[in-house]
């Protein structure tokens, strides 16, 4: 059964692969395939339509904007199976991706490319970058999602709408992982196969530029999920820089008798700023912890209220019946 699933394929100049990707998913029983195109200058849209996909042109630009617009305006199914249209993912992994959603155990599924990655599927630089980003994400957000940059995902539309997403480009995968961790969206990781791009297909990813965007996205999101790391790391950099400058000033003063008044002021400011940022990080982390505990208590009270309301709606309880009986016994006898 695939009527409850929309296969979402964001595209930009994927004429070499999009038809094969659409055909692959159709061969595996998926009929609701949405290609949302970012203004391709080649034959991407025509090839997608010929292969049997529904094609929409996004109003803005970037993969993140395309995904948000597609879910908000063009998808009316319960589940979304999102993949890249570059031929690196297999439709045969779709059932494994969707099964945790249909069982109701999770709301978001990430396909782990490293579980079965072909040798030429990723460059050495990209492998190193992915390892660093995944480790940094686990450290900051206290969750291990295995492969946060994977483009093969499945999720419920309801859970997606709870997330606050703003990334327009390739930072969308990172933002999805961060928001799932922040909002407690039940997430699991499923092993998938990751293939090399077919010949004639060129990547839209720029490792240095997009790597910097991803790194900043991970760090920027830490200010609300792990403020101690966010402010503490900045404080550590400032404090260490101040100590190093102070060491140089002290050495040149005591050994060579040369004063550096300006550098001494800079060193003092750096150390003080570092200490203040660290203290601010500790206080912010305490506030976030208290906020989380408060939300947990509110949710527990809401669940208790809902269960009580459900019991009342089912009919009068035994205590209600006893009170009514006592009321009848105490009632005045009818007049003769």
pLDDT in tens, 286-303: 887 776 667 667 767 777
The pLDDT value recorded for residue 299 is: 67
Residue range 166-184, pLDDT digits in tens: 887 778 898 899 889 888 8
The pLDDT value recorded for residue 226 is: 76
The pLDDT value recorded for residue 336 is: 41
Residue range 14-58, pLDDT digits in tens: 999 999 999 999 999 999 999 999 999 999 999 999 999 999 999
The pLDDT value recorded for residue 331 is: 47
The pLDDT value recorded for residue 139 is: 85
Spans of the chain, pLDDT less than 70 = 1, 200-207, 291-293, 295-296, 299, 310-336
189/154 Cα distance (integer angstroms): 10
Residues in Cβ contact with 129 at an 8 Å cutoff, skipping those fewer than 6 apart = 207, 211
């Amino acid at each position: 059964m695939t009527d409850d699933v929309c296969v979402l394929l964001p595209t930009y100049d994927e004429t070499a692969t999009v038809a094969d990707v659409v055909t692959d998913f159709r061969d595996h029983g998926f009929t609701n395939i949405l290609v949302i195109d970012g203004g391709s200058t080649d034959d991407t849209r025509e090839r997608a339509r010929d292969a049997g996909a529904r094609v929409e042109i996004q109003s803005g630009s970037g993969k993140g904007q395309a995904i948000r617009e597609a879910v908000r305006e063009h998808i009316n199914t319960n589940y979304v199976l999102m993949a890249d249209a570059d031929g690196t993912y297999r439709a045969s992994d779709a059932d494994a991706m969707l099964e945790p959603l249909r069982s109701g155990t999770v709301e978001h599924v990430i396909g782990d490319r490293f579980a079965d990655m072909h040798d030429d599927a990723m460059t050495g630089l990209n492998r190193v970058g992915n390892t660093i980003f995944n480790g940094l994400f686990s450290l900051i957000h206290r969750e291990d999602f295995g492969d946060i940059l994977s483009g093969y995902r499945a999720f419920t539309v309801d859970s997606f709408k709870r997330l606050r997403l703003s990334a327009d480009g390739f930072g969308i995968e990172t933002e999805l992982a961060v928001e799932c961790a922040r909002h407690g969206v039940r997430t699991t990781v499923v092993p998938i196969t990751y293939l090399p791009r077919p010949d004639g297909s060129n990547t839209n990813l720029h490792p240095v530029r997009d790597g910097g965007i991803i790194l900043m996205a991970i760090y920027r999101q830490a200010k609300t999920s792990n403020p101690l790391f966010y402010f503490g790391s900045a404080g550590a950099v400032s404090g260490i820089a101040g100590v190093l400058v102070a060491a140089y000033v002290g050495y040149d003063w005591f050994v060579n008798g040369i004063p550096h008044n300006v550098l001494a002021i800079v060193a003092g400011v750096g150390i003080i700023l570092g200490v203040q940022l660290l203290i601010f990080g500790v206080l912010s982390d305490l506030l976030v912890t208290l906020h989380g505990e408060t939300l947990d208590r509110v949710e527990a009270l809401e669940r208790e209220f809902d269960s009580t309301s459900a019991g009342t709606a089912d009919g009068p309880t035994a205590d209600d019946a006893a009170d009514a009986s006592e009321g009848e016994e105490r009632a005045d006898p009818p007049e003769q």
